[in-house]
Structure 1
Amino acid sequence: MTNLTNYHSHCLYCDGRANMEDFIRFAISEGFTSYGISSHAPLPFPTAWTMEWDRMEDYLSEFSRLKKKYADKIELAIGLEIDYLNEDSNPASSRFRELPLDYRIGSVHMLYSPEGNIVDIDTPADTFRQLIDKHFDGDLYSVVCLYYENLLRMVELGGFDIVGHADKMHYNASCYRPGLLDEPWYDTLVHGYFLEIARHGYIVEINTKAYHELGTFYPNERYFTFLKDLGIRVQVNSDAHYPERINNARPEGLAALKKAGFTSVVEWHGGKWEDTALCLFP
């Protein structure tokens, strides 16, 4: 078996449900060739799902210990999933750039409401509906536009390697307004977003976390052929918060990429990103 890798996972340093070593040991038991830890990076305020700055030294130290301990069994990489929040807090911020990381994932989970409140939009669909109605007066159009505006600004500023769960809002927004993905204005936003990703050369993860539960990847599978045509490099990540979910929907993700014409995925080998032949599981 090949393509057994994962670079998006969350351990007890943020909102994961097991310690770093448990994830690594499970990856080894499953035959993974390389594996990355990517806890949620600190924000300017405390949350229940992000790491605090006073734990960063321990995070890096623990990874270093485990990398040495399992060096003969698996290649490990350390990263962070860093939010674009505003001009002062984003993956390009100097404090994140100075960290000795192997890679960085850039994501958007939160938006500012018109009143200046921070609204976490990475929620179940029912909660998303309530938040849009409460904080944005039900104006889904403005929320979607703001989301992509932030994503584009994140892409422009840089400071990361991998685009995290691209177009993740599509599921919640489609639940709020069925048929949204087929509306021309939405399609234009998404295509413009991927064009900028291609122009800057970022890797796009095919995030499989919700596939078995919700039946969708992030980005949506309808865009896979467009990604291929743009020459965007991809990898399959499960965004795991539990060790046993590190391989969640990987075969389905790889099969969908193969169907779209991809022949390779990006993996961490020899201390760098490499294009590796895409091979479906038997």
Structure 2
Amino acid sequence: MSNLTNYHSHCLYCDGRANMEDFIRFAISEDFSSYGISSHAPLPFSTAWTMEWDRMNDYLCEFSRLKKKYADKIELAIGLEIDYLNEESHPALPCFQELPLNYRIGSVHMLYSPEGKVVDIDTSADTYRQLIDMHFGGDIEQVVRLYYKNLLRMVELGGFDIVGHADKMHYNASCYRPGLLDEVWYDTLVRDYFAEIARRGYIIEINTKSYRDLGTFYPNERYFPFLKELGVRVQVNSDAHYPERINNSRHEALLALRKAGFETVTEWHKGKWEEIPINL
């Protein structure tokens, strides 16, 4: 199978479980044509899952060393997954734009609760339920609307190439309130968000991280035909934290894209993004 690429992976510089070289060597062993490292970018506060600024130079230097070492075996690219948190912390800030990166992924993992507490909503469904009840009074509609408001603001501000796990909340939100995904207000919210992504020309990743365990892609497969209608560029990424998971559910994602009418995916070749035919 061709289309063996991945641009969303996390190594030991953030919350990944192996060093950068292990991911690259595994990609080579799997015959990947190109591969990208995208550690979680620093936040204004320390977390267990993001990089610290004092490691940034080492991150870039280590990638440069490995890119030279494996230049005859695979094309490598360096990026960051950068969170939109608020108007003072987002991908478009100069501190991120001035870094010598090949690409940037824009994502939302956290929301501010009504009392001003940062709440990580990228959790298991059970933990998500507890957090919504504890910090948002069980108002799932408020949480979903805030999530998409932040995503839309991130898209407006820009500063990135790829929208990370574009609607990741959909699984947890639907577990919290079954049937929510079929409610008119929710569908309108998501379609408006995707339309704005298309208008601004960003790539949307088909994130396969949860497909084996939860049976879902991010974005939700039900919107693949709409993304095709909008003319959005797509790529398949596994959001891998372990080297052996870099190729997880790629084939299933490509099949789903083909079923929705997509004929190409966006890949990094010769130092730029190119549209490559889906070859199953």
TM (norm. structure 2) is: 1.00
CA distance in 2, matches of 1:219, 1:180: 16
CA distance in 2, matches of 1:62, 1:85: 28
**What's the RMSD between the two structures over aligned residues?**
0.3
1:56 pairs with 2:56: yes
Equivalent residue, structure 2, for 1:177: 177
1:246 pairs with 2:208: no
The 3-state SS of whatever aligns with 1:65 is: helix
Equivalent residue, structure 2, for 1:256: 256
| 1:148 maps to amino acid | Y
Q: Structure 1, residues 143-198: CA drift from partner, whole Å, max 9, x if none?
A: 00000000000000000000000100000000000011100000000000000000
Equivalent residue, structure 1, for 2:132: 132
Structure 2's unaligned 5+ residue stretches are none
Q: Structure 1, residues 187-234: CA drift from partner, whole Å, max 9, x if none?
A: 000000000000000000000000000000000000000000000000
Tell me the percent identity: 82
Deviation at 1:114, TM superposition (A): 0.4
1:8 pairs with 2:8: yes
| 2:187 maps to amino acid | D
The 3-state SS of whatever aligns with 1:85 is: coil
| 1:154 maps to amino acid | M
Equivalent residue, structure 1, for 2:93: 93
Structure 1's unaligned 5+ residue stretches are none
CA distance in 1, matches of 2:150, 2:94: 19
CA distance in 1, matches of 2:32, 2:195: 32
Deviation at 1:241, TM superposition (A): 0.1
Equivalent residue, structure 2, for 1:145: 145
The 3-state SS of whatever aligns with 1:25 is: helix
CA distance in 2, matches of 1:188, 1:119: 25
CA distance in 1, matches of 2:137, 2:209: 30
| 2:67 maps to amino acid | K
The 3-state SS of whatever aligns with 1:96 is: helix
Equivalent residue, structure 1, for 2:112: 112
Equivalent residue, structure 2, for 1:72: 72
Equivalent residue, structure 2, for 1:223: 223
CA distance in 1, matches of 2:169, 2:122: 8
The 3-state SS of whatever aligns with 1:36 is: strand
Equivalent residue, structure 2, for 1:204: 204
CA distance in 1, matches of 2:45, 2:274: 36
Equivalent residue, structure 1, for 2:234: 234
TM (norm. structure 1) is: 0.99
Equivalent residue, structure 1, for 2:160: 160
